[in-house]
Amino acid sequence: MPAQLRLLIEVVARACKLISHTVGKGALDNLLGQLDIENVQGEIQKKLDVISNDILLEANEWGGHLAALASEEMETIHLIPHRYPKGEYQLVYDPIDGSSNIDVNGIVGTIFSVLRAPEEASGREVTEQDFLQLGRNQVAAGYAIYGPQTVLVLTVGTGVFGVTLDREMGSWMLTHERMSIPVSTREFAINMSNARHWAPPVQRYINECLVGQTGPRGVDFNMRWMASMVGDVHSNLTRGGVFLYPWDARHTDRAGKLRLMYEANPIGMLVEQAGGAATDGLRRILDITPTGLHQRVGVILGSREEVERITCYHREDTASTG
Ligand code: FBP
């Protein structure tokens, strides 16, 4: 692994350790609740969104491994200041995924994606355009999950592994080697309260799961919804499952709720590296050309057989409706 990439991953892991510690303090350090400010997506920022964003920013700025960073919580990219050495990578992250869980002591996580700065940017400052690369060009991706245990799950394109934070020792221990998603599953994760707004292929799939043994699938399904993609995806990576946050009819102006660059792409890479699949219903997530840093996308990912089935339902629907 290139030295700068190794350093970058070590720095991100160290920042995640600090975020884990900070999340664990909660009300003890007056860290719950929201601020009276909105991020670029018009969402009210929680205190921990802002603090975690700054932790990642400050940890990564000066090490000489990055050319620039981008985050869910920042409108545009952050260039490495001239006083620090510049590196060849670009980091994109969601500092706290599952923000609505913060105040209820539920699962939250940090998601990150690593891109290489384009060669043509070597003699100049990188631009936002330089970040708009296909997900399949990511050189590394990962998440940290802050639950009963803090686990960092990582890929550099040669499989997926996880390390658990030993809180007493303050060190990461390799605990999950070669993580893989079972090809088949009988478990789905979706926010059922949005059911009436989904497109017909998603309604068809979930209805078939819900009727269980008596329906066309002939088996009963189980459901999970943790309100944190990191939580649901960690479950997929541990025991299989399919996760959906699809387009819905309330927001005709946007392709989905989740963000391509710092949610769907890194998780898509991890899921594929673990033997699963990730699409937006029709296209492989990692093949979607980004048009903006905060672009949204429909997301269907996890156990390959189920993702292929749902994608097939979308294709059939598109073919029948033109
Ligand atoms: P944030 O980045 O604002 O946390 O939103 C992402 C997310 O929390 C996902 O992690 C999760 O799957 C989803 O939103 C939960 O949405 P809902 O509010 O519909 O349960």
Residue 49 in domain: yes
Q: Are residues 54 and 191 both part of a single domain?
A: no
25 belongs to an annotated ligand binding site? no
Alpha carbons within 13 A on the beta-carbon side of 42: 1
Query: Lowest mean pLDDT: which of 121-125, 229-233, 267-271?
Result: 121-125
Q: What is the CATH number of the domain that holds 97?
A: 3.30.540.10
Q: Whose CA is nearest to atom 4 of ligand 1?
A: 98
Residue 48 in domain: yes
Distance from C-alpha of 293 to C-alpha of 117, rounded to nearest angstrom:
15
pLDDT cut 90: percent of the chain above it: 86
Determine if ligand 1 sits within 6 Å of the CB of residue 187. no
Residue 296 in domain: yes
- 313 versus 322: the higher-pLDDT residue is 313
Distance from C-alpha of 43 to C-alpha of 77, rounded to nearest angstrom:
18
Distance from C-alpha of 111 to C-alpha of 301, rounded to nearest angstrom:
16
pLDDT at 18: 97
17 belongs to an annotated ligand binding site? no
Q: Are residues 138 and 269 both part of a single domain?
A: no
Query: What's the full length of the chain, in residues?
Result: 322
Q: Are residues 113 and 199 both part of a single domain?
A: no
Q: Is residue 41 pLDDT above 80, yes or no?
A: no
pLDDT cut 70: percent of the chain above it: 99
Distance from C-alpha of 168 to C-alpha of 71, rounded to nearest angstrom:
30
Distance 145 CA to ligand 1 centre (A): 14
Q: Are residues 121 and 207 both part of a single domain?
A: no
Q: Is residue 110 pLDDT above 70, yes or no?
A: yes
94 belongs to an annotated ligand binding site? yes
Q: Are residues 150 and 219 both part of a single domain?
A: no
pLDDT in tens, 260-288: 999 999 999 999 999 999 999 999 999 99
Quickly count: other Cβ atoms within 10 Å of residue 58's Cβ: 11
* Number of structural domains the chain divides into: 2
Domain residue limits at 21: 3-176
pLDDT in tens, 69-89: 999 999 999 999 989 888 999
Q: Are residues 197 and 252 both part of a single domain?
A: yes
Determine if ligand 1 sits within 6 Å of the CB of residue 100. yes
Q: What is the CATH number of the domain that holds 196?
A: 3.40.190.80
pLDDT in tens, 26-40: 899 888 887 777 777
Q: Is residue 128 pLDDT above 80, yes or no?
A: yes
Give residue 180's region: left, alpha or beta (phi > 0; psi -120 to 50).
beta
Determine if ligand 1 sits within 6 Å of the CB of residue 52. no
Q: Which two tokens stand for residue 35?
A: 């601020």
Determine if ligand 1 sits within 6 Å of the CB of residue 191. yes
For residue 262, give the 3-state DSSP assignment. helix
46 belongs to an annotated ligand binding site? no
